[in-house]
Amino acid sequence: METRRDAIFPEISPSTSPHPLFPLLAPSPLTPFTNNTVPKLSGLCTLNFAAVESMMSTTSIDCTSVFAQFLANVICCPQLEATLVVLIGQSSKDTNTLALNGTQAKHCLSDFEQILVGQGAGDNLQQICSIRPSNLTAASCPIKDVNEFESTIDTSELFAACEKINVVNECCDQICQNAISDAARKLALKAYDLSSMDGSHTLSDQSIRFNDCKDIVHRWLASKLEPSRAKDILRGLSNCHVNKVCPLVFPNMSGVTAICRDAIKNRTACCNEMESYVSHLQKQSFITNLQALNCVALLGRKLQKANITENVYNLCRISLKDFSLQESGCLLPSLPSDATFDESSEVSFLCDLNDNIPAPWPSTSQIPASSCNKTVKIPALPAAASGQSGKYAH
């Protein structure tokens, strides 16, 4: 899931403009979402959990035990990580520090998870989201004290760049992201004696320290904003990375290549193999519509390298939503979203794409392109009712 790949968008345009589609409710989990467990806390964590009470409630729904692993990449883990950042940031108002020590981190992460589990979240979120106590510390970043941070960074410039971001444009304009990176570099430089730098510090060490310092910058920003606003910004920044990748794991495709390579002699057999192969992808996770485009392009490239030259997507009627979890045939919105808990004790989430938009076959001559490249033509997606709330019927 950490692999970073640029999206590959074939240069094709739809013949007709798709009609707007309202998001639909995804199916309810097998068991109702309930809050019936009193968490057992260590009593040794000084973080201000009350400051993020609403965020933790949202996180417990986003990471409900039934759906946590299927929503991990797009909803659960980004929300979980944002909540931890805001928790430490808000708590720094009392502690004057933007990180915990190792012992505190163990107690606080355990308490954090216990509270979420008590509200209905899965009990294996640390494993699902790869969260460790070290994620709550300063790690290799040399600065964690609030006063030292503010004397090192041009905080007014940083705050101005990130106070209000456009979640649609930020991924391409990178105004806030650039400001965060600049601040993180200044913090990281504090680890070195600039008068005696001898080049012994490896690029790997510098990269790790830079990323650790970005975490510190995120926490400082979260301390200066209302929790709900901080969450929106952090989730927006996270989505810039989420939508760039394909989180699916592609199994061995020897069965497909054996039948579909070169000139396809038996189209029925080829499509049966393709459908069987895609069915394995449909068991993994929900993905966004932009991630689906990435996955379609990535698989297409793999098939082409295996000498499958004919457009098997078109031949076998493979659509974008075939790459998402097929319990509902749902692609999630590309913008940040949360699951919801309705009056009948059911957890629901919204689908942004509901029709069978054909999976675009990548052009063999096309150079991989970013979705920020205005000259790249992306197959039109339905004009989903972005930003609308409530329940929608068919």
- Retrieve residue 262's tokens: 């070169």
Contact 51, 95 (CB under 8 A): no
Q: Widest CA span of the chain, in angstroms?
A: 71
Distances (CA, A) of 365 to 4, 309, 326, 368: 22, 13, 32, 10
Contact 6, 244 (CB under 8 A): yes
Q: pLDDT tens digits, residue range 242-295?
A: 999 999 999 999 999 999 987 688 899 999 999 999 999 999 999 999 999 999
- Report pLDDT for 350: 84
Q: What is the residue whose two structure tokens read 């457009």?
A: 311
Q: pLDDT tens digits, residue range 144-203?
A: 999 999 999 999 999 999 999 998 899 999 999 999 999 999 999 998 744 344 455 566
pTM of the entire structure?
0.84
Computed over every residue of the chain, the mean pLDDT equals 83
Q: pLDDT tens digits, residue range 295-308?
A: 999 999 999 999 99
> Which three-class secondary structure state does DSSP give residue 93?
helix
User: How far is residue 44's CA from residue 49's CA, in Å, rounded to a whole number?
Assistant: 13
**36: confidence class by pLDDT, cuts 50, 70, 90:** low
Is residue 14's pLDDT more than 80? no
User: How far is residue 110's CA from residue 92's CA, in Å, rounded to a whole number?
Assistant: 19
Sign, CA torsion 245/247/248/250: positive
Percent of the chain's residues with pLDDT above 70 = 78
Within 207-349, strands assigned E span 340-341, 347-348
Is residue 388's pLDDT more than 60? no
Mean pLDDT of all residues in 202-208: 79
- Retrieve residue 47's tokens: 């973080």
Is residue 367's pLDDT more than 90? no
Domain ranges of the chain: 49-193+203-243, 253-391
- Report pLDDT for 326: 72
Distances (CA, A) of 118 to 113, 122, 124: 9, 9, 13
**347: confidence class by pLDDT, cuts 50, 70, 90:** confident
- Retrieve residue 207's tokens: 């990269």
**Residues comprising the chain, all counted:** 394
- Report pLDDT for 21: 36
